[in-house]
A and B are shown apart, each in its own frame.
Chain A
Amino acid sequence: MIRLGRVLFILLSLLPLLSLFGCWNYKEVDDMSIVAGVALDKDEKSGKLLLTVEMVDTKGGLQQTQAGFKILTLAGDTMFDIVRNMISMTGKKLFWSHAKVIILSEEIAREGMVKVIDWYSRDTGTRSDVYIFVSKEKTAREILMMNSTSESIMSFELAQMMLDERNSSTAPVVEIWDFIDKLESSGKSAMAPLIYVHRADGRGNERVSGTAVFSKDKMVGMLSGTESKYMLFAQDKVKGGVLPVDAGDGHPVYSLEIQSSRTKVRPSWIHDKLQIQVDMETQMNLDEVMTSNGFTHFDAKKAIEERAEEILQENITNLIHKVQKEYHADVFGFGEKIHENMPSTWKKINKDWSNEFSKLAVVVRSQVTINSSAKTTRSIKIGD
């Protein structure tokens, strides 16, 4: 039997320990402003950074099922300076762990990204799985300000959009860790999806399509949505999407749904010249035939496959040439492949890689297989 006095003694000597815990990091969930997304611009007058934060507004209460949003803008010299100063506007500390998107204006992107994304990757409160975008509009904040489609939170909508992006493959999906990883490696150039306001009938709608191409940490150019798709093919990042195919006359009449695509990039020496071979194997489904006389016999499938191969080869080659000539930025990661397969060669050329990349010979080969024609085997026949 332990004597009661001893038990009391032990308990009493443990009691002061409670004050040592101090509840470090303790914060109630309703005492913080949850950040959904952020847009970065340059203040026109002062030239300072302009930070626009979209926050979740929990004032809605129990009756409302959907939380509202609140937008705050503040200018300052450094990111962290602005973020901390924002407490004077919100009254609560900003909570960054659930932020989904970071939108940069083109101006900021062209000036250099390091100065704005360093805080985001360094701070302990932020997450590195946030989606990064470059705004095609004049400012980045007008994207966040435009909650046109619904009353919902724009940043969460954009995050959802990026999750479904693989079904269209018209823009790369880039999270900030991936972006920084590419900035730091020498054989790859960074990129980011483009976002803009799609206007029709006087109403605007946000749209993600196209790619911003970076050289080092500065943006050097843009690719359109279609070009982005071919870029993703070359990068082996296509998971889905649609490839329109014409019957040889320039007017697309067939839609091919991409099931899966595998791309292998191999550097090799051909006639003492470094050459990159891009080999693609693509599985597709025929999902649309816009003519009533096409696709009548079995050979038609073969013809469509061949036409699709031609289109892919032609467009990808054109795209690679464009990036080589205009941007000198290796978004395809060819440099990394050379590094992997030919380390000694890479040692010689990596000093001047952007220059070497522009001169690189590239051969694209494509092989397309059409697996099915969806629910029917024939095209619609028009009766007499």
Chain B
Amino acid sequence: MKSSKSDDNRNSALPHSSTTAVSEQELGQSLDETLARLRQIFSNDGTLRIRVMENKQFGRVRFGLVYIDGMIDRELIQDGIIRPVTEALFTGAEHYSPEHLMENIRTQVIQISDVVVALKLDELISAIVAGKTLFLLDGCAGALNINAQGWETRAITEPLTEKGVRGPREGFTESLLVNLTLIRRRVQNADLKFIFCEIGTRSKTQTCLCYMESLASPDILKELQERLARVEIDHILDTGYLAELIRDEPYSPFEMLGSTERPDAVVSKIMEGRFAIMIEGSPFALTLPYVFVENFQASEDYYLNYYFTSFNRILRILGAFMSISIPAVYVALVTFSQEMLPTQLLLSIATARLSVPFPSIVEALIMLTIFEILREAGARIPTSIGQAVSIVGALVLGQAAVDARIVSAPMVIVVGLTGITTLLNPRLTGPLIVVRVVLLLMSFFLGIYGYFFGLLGLVIHLMSMRSFGVSYMLGVGSIRAQDIKDTIIRAPWWDMYLRPAMIGARNMRRKPMDKKGKRS
């Protein structure tokens, strides 16, 4: 697929770091001198192409084309620049000054839509490295940046990380401009803003901030731009770099910025008053502010029947709770509070644990580590069958370990259940592992008391965090119906009148209500 792009509507308010210092910024009038300077700057760069040509009839039109091979559309250059300029009849142009001639060529000869005049050397350099074609005219102290970019990009495919049964199947690609069109096509409204900036002192990665002006909070926008301006880094290759650089609470294991590959998800976020950040070269968009309940939301939730998706949400929340609690509670019950187990369960655990050589805590840590090893191995196996292989491996390994009396059967069940419940929330995998181990150790030291102590600490930690000034636990524990409608359940669309509090504060109402505050 071919792609072309333009970035001359860059916002000047955004950080625009200057290029490496060039002592002499002014361009000379001689074509050969300018080309020599460019050759010197791009020495040892074998991809630079310089072509000097003349008009058939009119010898004064001697021009040079400079571009980087592979980043331009050759046919476009040939049909839009070389042929028109070489074959044009410059009748009556003998007395034109070189600047007049250049203007003439720009407005009448070159048949390409996006042409900009450049006067400074660093403008020329950044245009060349961005894949534009430079048009230089002998005798004229200026140049034309012609946008005839063209390179291979990946096709738009269904995102692998966020597959759904229902809903749009498009996913972002590595091309920023393609990604922006995917968003623009869904929101045909001038309110949708795209602010560009460059991040990375050396890589100068194109970064785009995307939001709805009538919905998004200007305070958050200001804060976000300040944070982006403060970023000091050599290069960024994925939005994951940015997420770590601009997030709140840098030491918390929980994600403070959302990340998605789906344009429909991004649109739904910006329609709630959130911001999205996208960069050139990564198919993942960041969304912010991010709150805890978003970890449990999937795009599909909004497309399928609300009973079903509310049930799924409750399952996911239950799954997250179980995956941190099961090993901790098991160890606390088996090593401290045996009186809390039903008698029959106690007997079967006691029978199963007989002649197992390790204490329960060691058993739990061994099995959890083995599970994480299998999980990581499964993730690194290139094809998707890796998952199935690792599950089979776990079963076989688990069965053999129980038969050999290295671990007890209940522990295998505990770890298996923990693993499965973790898979319910792919966004929370990392934080859950940390919390699970902390709770497990607390349980081992202090029993059930330690478990609840740890749980209390977790709640305090979550409650104390903010993402761009918005409480991380937004909507959790609220008693207002509109706050709860998109948290542990997903209310039907006809009943969601308001945007999330604090995030969509500028324009709370999704749709009008009647006088009673009920339906419109």
Contacts and interface: CB of A to CB of B under 8 A. Distances in A.
Interface in A209-260: none
A95 B338 contact: yes
Nearest to A21: B445
Interface in B330-351: 334-336, 338-339, 343, 346-347, 349-351
Contact of B351 (A32, A61, A100): A61
A374 to B, nearest CB: 35
A58 B343 contact: no
Interface in B263-319: none
Nearest to A156: B343
Interface stretch (A22-30, A81-89, A289-297, A363-371): A22-30
Interface string A10-44: 00000000100101011111101010000000000
B347 A67 contact: yes
Contacts of A58: 347, 350-351, 354
B394 interface: no
Q: Which of B343, B353, B356, B446 has the most CB atoms of chain A within a 10 A radius of its CB? A: B343
B335 A27 contact: yes
Contact of B338 (A18, A29, A59, A60): A29
A164 to B, nearest CB: 17
A62 interface: yes
Contact of B354 (A18, A26, A34, A59): A59
B334 A28 contact: yes
Contacts of A26: 335-336, 447
A56 B338 contact: no
B440 to A, nearest CB: 14
Contacts of A61: 351, 354
B496 interface: no
Interface string B471-488: 000000000000000000
B445 A29 contact: no
Contacts of A127: 339
B408 to A, nearest CB: 9
B346 A34 contact: yes
B445 A23 contact: yes
A28 B347 contact: no
Contacts of B447: 25-26
B359 interface: yes
A30 B354 contact: yes
A61 B409 CA distance: 12
A34 B409 CA distance: 20
B63 interface: no
Nearest to B352: A62
B207 interface: no
Contacts of B360: 28-29
A156 B336 CA distance: 23
B213 to A, nearest CB: 35
Contacts of B346: 29, 34, 98
A97 interface: yes
A98 B336 contact: no
Given A23-B445, A58-B351, A67-B347, A30 B356 contact: yes
Contacts of B444: 23
Interface string B348-369: 0111111010011000000000
A223 B349 CA distance: 42
A196 to B, nearest CB: 25
Given A25-B336, A127-B339, A56 B350 contact: yes
B336 A28 contact: no
Contacts of B359: 28
A109 B354 CA distance: 39
A379 B409 CA distance: 57
15 contacts: A21-B446, A23-B445, A26-B336, A27-B335, A27-B338, A28-B359, A29-B334, A29-B353, A30-B356, A34-B347, A61-B351, A62-B352, A95-B338, A98-B339, A98-B346
The 3 closest A-B pairs by CB, nearest first: A97-B339, A21-B445, A30-B353
Interface of B: 251, 334-336, 338-339, 343, 346-347, 349-354, 356, 359-360, 409, 444-447
Given A28-B359, A34-B346, 8 more contacts: A29-B335, A29-B350, A30-B356, A34-B350, A58-B350, A67-B351, A97-B338, A98-B339
